[in-house]
Structure 1
Amino acid sequence: MAANPVIGFQVDPEDIRTVGHDLQRPECILAEPDGSLWSADARGGVVHISPDGSQKIITQSEQTGFADVGEEAKRFTTGTLPNGLAFARNGDILISNFGTDRLEIMKRTGETRVLHDTIDGAPIGKVNFVLRDSKDRIWLTVSTKIPNWMDAISPSIRDGYIALADKNGLRIVADGFAFTNEIRLDAREEWLYIVETTARRITRMRVAEDGSLSGRETFGPSDHGAFIDGIAFDAIGNLWGTHVMTDRVFAITREGDLQIILDDDRGSQTGKALLRAFDEDRVTPDLQMACGGTIAPWMASITFGGSDLKNVYIGSLRGTTIPWFRSPVPGWPMIHWNEGTKR
């Protein structure tokens, strides 16, 4: 078997380039084959960065031009904070909105409608990430039911869950997670990989034909000693990810070994103070806000792009641009990559 190019690979900060400017909270990034990037933005929408580097913010507005879906689904209010993004099959953008606590869908011109804001008759909670699979089902993570998410940064809270939306509606398929964050399906869609941010681990569960989940187990280290945020697979099965607030990029090999690829924290005292406070269940917003590197403050998502899928883009919660570097292996293409989505 050929050697895994990720083992021993590290990024020299001098080789990191950036794309985009004056962004606000570019947490999640989608890449398209033509070189376009789409970044969530705290101004209430998505920034489209064209292949030539020009950019335009598309802000969400109350939907117009959609088929009648009922008054309840048409509500759109202020307080929007797009977090996770995914492309619908037709090229519209699915948005897990951390501000409105809803799953929404936005046309590329900004018109937005609500897909789901309740589950089992109750508010959904802090919707974090959205993922579409090859069966056109939508997977949704909810980090916590606590309105202020910072209050959920605790080792004792396990109220996160995963929901699945298909032709039968929206239903919970697994719960009891420690601040559910990003999720990814493997190449065969046999396993769902789940970030549990405050458990500081990645969990995986087997996916049945009907979308039900079973066989919960830890993938990789049982404790990263850091809070995990985003994940993405490369083409040979390594799972890449980020440590948020202590700002590192890592990869976990197929055998479960952790490789640190980029470290923008380097054992800082603020990061150590945060982790000590977490272990004692006394994390405060001030301790969190004191953390963060300079490359992509509060690293969040990880996205493969470029024509060869070897560009690695880093999303962040406090950055204003998108850093990127070259990977020795291409990323695994997301479901939209080869669909020829309609524009």
Structure 2
Amino acid sequence: MTIHSVPGDFHIPFDDLKVVARGLVRPECVLALDDGSLVTAHGQGGYSIISSVGEVSHHLAHCDTARKYVPNGIALAPNGKMLFADLGNQYGGIFSLDRHGHLETVLDSVDGTSLPPSNFVMVDEHDVLWFTVSTRNVPRSKSWNHHVRDGFIGVIDGDGARIVADGLGYTNEIAFSPDRRWVYVNETYAQRISRYPLTGSAAKPRLGKRETLVQLSEADLPDGLAFDVAGGLWVTCIASNKVLLVRPDRTVQVIVEDSDPAHVGRIAAGIRESSLEHADMQTPGNSRLGNVSSIAFGGRDMRTAYLGCLLDDCVRSFRSPIPGVALPHRSRRIR
């Protein structure tokens, strides 16, 4: 058995979670920087900064178009610009935003086809931009079941923009294993966590054959994920409103849970029956976690876990027994 330093009975009650800041708008994604600040997505077209003392400021795009941008995943690029994946109703893409609200298109098509609503973006330590598209279906609710597998992972590298993995069941966040041998991905409505061997060169990566790491059930819909330094994978689940730890031996431990059993039953049935509609996912039921959607490790010792969400106005946190892996954006600064 693989040894992992998180005790098997480690659990955080909801009332022990700390509210870091309120006044946010759809803080789906959270980034933690080494100066103690946090950056979150802002659902009305930008991002929010939470200072090290908890002060919140909002930074929205200034644009002349009537298009409404819905930042989902966000990233801090090496050049200091914020990037976001646009999860609009009809259109997607990857966009950059500077401190003054100037918006630029980074990518709006791949393989000659316009990008559908887009989910996640990151820039790794080798300046490769990674992004995900959950589904090619519009509306996205057509893919909220176990049957549709049309999501993909893409990159922008020295060869340009290209798809590196296709046929996923609602692609969400990705993360690199601490040894950088694997790319892990949440397939939300397939209810599984998968991984791909990372091949090619650092500057021009390729992905091998997909493996299933863990298959989830009921209304556990994996959204965000982050590694700890011992190879444990921390996963947030919308609908069931849980934070899970997938230990290196692939056993799954519930770290945080604030589920509404009736809501969980409705969502699980809707997935099985391919009957979920947009309104079904616009409520957490009676859960107080607001559809917890992302997890980011930060703080001086990398042992503070920050939680983003879809349906509340706050970021919450708890202390982990083990540090998280420091991501490349940690030392970057917004310019």
TM-score, with length taken from structure 2: 0.93
Q: Which residue does the alignment assign to 2:300?
A: 307
Q: Which residue does the alignment assign to 1:121?
A: 112
Q: Which residue does the alignment assign to 1:60?
A: 61
> Hey, what's the Cα distance between the residues in 2 that align with 1:293 and 1:322?
18
Q: Which residue does the alignment assign to 1:327?
A: 320
Instruction: Quote the offset at 1:222 in angstroms.
Output: 2.1
Q: How does 1:164-203 map to 2 (within 5 A)?
A: 164-203=155-194
Instruction: Quote the offset at 1:293 in angstroms.
Output: 4.8
The answer to whether 1:283 aligns with 2:284 is no
Q: Which residue does the alignment assign to 2:132?
A: 141
Q: Which amino acid aligns with 1:58?
A: H
Q: Which residue does the alignment assign to 1:228?
A: 222
Aligned residues: 328
Q: Which residue does the alignment assign to 1:50?
A: 51
Q: Which residue does the alignment assign to 2:38?
A: 37
Q: Is this contact kept in 2: 1:203–1:216, CA < 8 A?
A: yes
Q: Is this contact kept in 1: 2:72–2:85, CA < 8 A?
A: yes
Instruction: Quote the offset at 1:243 in angstroms.
Output: 1.0
Q: Is this contact kept in 1: 2:258–2:287, CA < 8 A?
A: yes
The answer to whether 1:250 aligns with 2:241 is no
> Hey, what's the Cα distance between the residues in 2 that align with 1:303 and 1:321?
14
Match of 1:84, SS state, is strand
Q: Which residue does the alignment assign to 1:86?
A: 75
Unmatched tracts of structure 1, length 5 or more: 63-74
Q: Is this contact kept in 2: 1:296–1:314, CA < 8 A?
A: no
> Hey, what's the Cα distance between the residues in 2 that align with 1:80 and 1:191?
32
Closer, same or farther: CA 289–80 of 1 in aligned 2, 3 Å: closer
Closer, same or farther: CA 292–182 of 1 in aligned 2, 3 Å: farther
Instruction: Quote the offset at 1:324 in angstroms.
Output: 0.9
Closer, same or farther: CA 3–233 of 1 in aligned 2, 3 Å: closer
Closer, same or farther: CA 89–292 of 1 in aligned 2, 3 Å: farther
Q: How does 1:104-119 map to 2 (within 5 A)?
A: 104-119=95-110
Unmatched tracts of structure 2, length 5 or more: none
Q: Which residue does the alignment assign to 1:65?
A: none
Instruction: Quote the offset at 1:172 in angstroms.
Output: 0.6
Q: Is this contact kept in 2: 1:296–1:315, CA < 8 A?
A: no
CA-to-aligned-CA distance 1:225-258 (integer Å, 9 cap, x gap): 3211110011111000111011000010111110
The answer to whether 1:11 aligns with 2:12 is yes
CA-to-aligned-CA distance 1:182-207 (integer Å, 9 cap, x gap): 00011232110011011101000011
> Hey, what's the Cα distance between the residues in 2 that align with 1:189 and 1:2?
20
> Hey, what's the Cα distance between the residues in 2 that align with 1:81 and 1:153?
19
Q: Which amino acid aligns with 1:93?
A: M
Instruction: Quote the offset at 1:77 in angstroms.
Output: 5.3
> Hey, what's the Cα distance between the residues in 2 that align with 1:177 and 1:101?
18
Q: Which amino acid aligns with 2:226?
A: A
CA-to-aligned-CA distance 1:22-58 (integer Å, 9 cap, x gap): 2111100111011111110112110111111111100
Q: Is this contact kept in 2: 1:159–1:178, CA < 8 A?
A: yes
Mean CA deviation greater in 277-286 or 14-23: 277-286
> Hey, what's the Cα distance between the residues in 1 that align with 2:224 and 2:236?
6
TM-score, with length taken from structure 1: 0.91
> Hey, what's the Cα distance between the residues in 2 that align with 1:85 and 1:290?
23
Match of 2:244, SS state, is strand
Instruction: Quote the offset at 1:2 in angstroms.
Output: 5.8
Q: Which amino acid aligns with 2:80?
A: G
> Hey, what's the Cα distance between the residues in 1 that align with 2:153 and 2:59?
28
Q: Give RMSD over aligned pairs.
A: 1.8
> Hey, what's the Cα distance between the residues in 1 that align with 2:137 and 2:4?
45
Q: Which of 148, 156, 178 matches 1:157? A: 148
Percent identity of paired positions between Structure 1 and Structure 2:
32
Q: Is this contact kept in 2: 1:241–1:302, CA < 8 A?
A: yes
> Hey, what's the Cα distance between the residues in 2 that align with 1:48 and 1:290?
25
Closer, same or farther: CA 308–125 of 1 in aligned 2, 3 Å: same
Q: Which amino acid aligns with 2:152?
A: Y
Q: Which residue does the alignment assign to 1:238?
A: 232
Match of 2:215, SS state, is coil
Q: Is this contact kept in 1: 2:71–2:85, CA < 8 A?
A: yes
> Hey, what's the Cα distance between the residues in 1 that align with 2:306 and 2:278?
27
Match of 1:336, SS state, is helix
Mean CA deviation greater in 170-179 or 154-163: 154-163
Match of 2:189, SS state, is helix
CA-to-aligned-CA distance 1:150-178 (integer Å, 9 cap, x gap): 23212221110011101221001110000
> Hey, what's the Cα distance between the residues in 1 that align with 2:325 and 2:334?
21
> Hey, what's the Cα distance between the residues in 1 that align with 2:282 and 2:301?
36
